[in-house]
Amino acid sequence: MSDSLACLRCSSPLDLVGEQDFRTGGATGFAGMFFGNLNQLSEGILALQMYRCPQCGHVEFFLPQG
Ligand SMILES: [Zn+2]
């Protein structure tokens, strides 16, 4: 995985924070706050690679390779 990603806001190099797990679906899931009852159709764990900008705090998420 490359670490040469640049921040979209200030063009500083992004730091790789690591893999974060997000629960999708379910009444108390992360997505439940946004999608209401629709989230019950697809409940599971979504793992995303998280990058943050040390300059402005911008955060980006990417799907892990493979
Ligand atoms: Zn930035």
Interval between CA 35 and ligand 1 midpoint (Å): 29
Note the pLDDT of residue 1: 47
pTM beyond cutoff 0.85: no
Interval between CA 12 and ligand 1 midpoint (Å): 5
DSSP state of 42: S
**Closest-CA residue to 3 (of 20, 23, 17):** 17
- 2-56 pLDDT per residue, tens: 557 999 999 999 999 999 988 876 655 555 555 555 545 567 888 999 999 999 9
CA atoms within 13 A on the CB side of 64: 10
Interval between CA 4 and ligand 1 midpoint (Å): 13
Interval between CA 66 and ligand 1 midpoint (Å): 27
Interval between CA 6 and ligand 1 midpoint (Å): 8
